[in-house]
Structure 1
Amino acid sequence: ANAGAVLPALKSKHAEVGAKGSSGAFDWQVALFDIKRPLSNIDFCDRSFSACVGQYDGSAVHRGAEANFQWASGAWQIGSGVTLLHARREGSVLEPLNNGKRPTNVPGAVIRANAAYKVASLPGLELRANLSHEGRRSVLADESIELPAWTRLDAAARYENKIAGANVAWTLGVDNVANRRFWKESPFQFGHVYLYPGAPRTLRLTMSASL
């Protein structure tokens, strides 16, 4: 009913407290956070197929904790990050049944880990591995459909050398080593659900050079 009208500026609230430290080869940081962000009723209007006044309707509240660390010693480098998230919708008048439910496309946990090893017998060669995990996420606002959690492993070998005075780096990698099939994301916009599949096993070869 108010097509083309400009809504008031969206104001979110963000509180965070954390700590970080370093001890020799080990670096770490932890944090607790609380984020409250207003939600519009645009998706509700798109689904209702009737005259609707665009406005803000409740908020998405994200509370959680995150921790990260990095360790390096000799030929090894290891890092990891974990985010645990409790997200809920609050204060909706138009869709009160969705209050207390998880916002769409928000996983409850995100984990990243990586490791790198420099091969002493072949200077310039580094072996790498990356692990990614994301928890379940809601596809629809009423939580009637969810995407399952997924885990992906990537691996690569990087070799650095000099050619004609230029620093050249070659990387041979395999993304999604186990060739897992999964849905990576499920954003909900304009009354529609968009499902993004994770890429299948992918072999890649890249080269970069710098003077």
Structure 2
Amino acid sequence: MITQNLIIYKFNRLYQILIELDLNFNYEITFFDNQETLNEKLKKIKNYLIISNRKYLDVDNQFILSNTPINIFRLIEKINIEFLKVQFNYQSEVKVSDYIVNLNSREILKNNKKLKLTEKEMNTIIYLFKSENSVSIDELQKKVWSYQSDLETHTVETHIYRLRKKILNMFNDNDFIISKTNGYQIN
């Protein structure tokens, strides 16, 4: 099981209360009041939620607890819900080469640039990425488009052409999907 890290950031009162309660939480609780040490910690962990009493820029997975006092059981419920959201978002991202594909938003990201994908484009990228070898047009027709192999169609080639063009225009990458003699492959 992945450790859930609850980070209390610049909110010492809350940290003291949670430590004093000494409840059997399903997460590890730490306190930070310095951005640099927080950033060092975040480089080492994946599953985290940061609670603070105000919004801080450049802090991801942040839960703002501004309405205090709050019932401790209600607070724990809110923390658990926020951890579920973090887990959902974490599972929705797939690293493909130098890119991140967000399955929820159907976007591909690289260097702070985002490109919206159609469902078929996203499915094509994921299918190509998960395949160890190059994938034939017939296989893509069957697995991504659910077409029968005896149909004469250029759907796959057309979609690959358009997808390559979109990626070239947004990311200046002409080698993301490469053609092999027996099909396509993610580079």
Please indicate, yes or no, whether the TM-score normalized by the shorter chain is above 0.5: no
* TM-score category of the 2 structures, normalised to the smaller one: under 0.3
Greater strand content: 1
Structure that is richer in helix per residue = 2
Q: TM-score, normalised by structure 1?
A: 0.23
TM-score by length of 2: 0.25
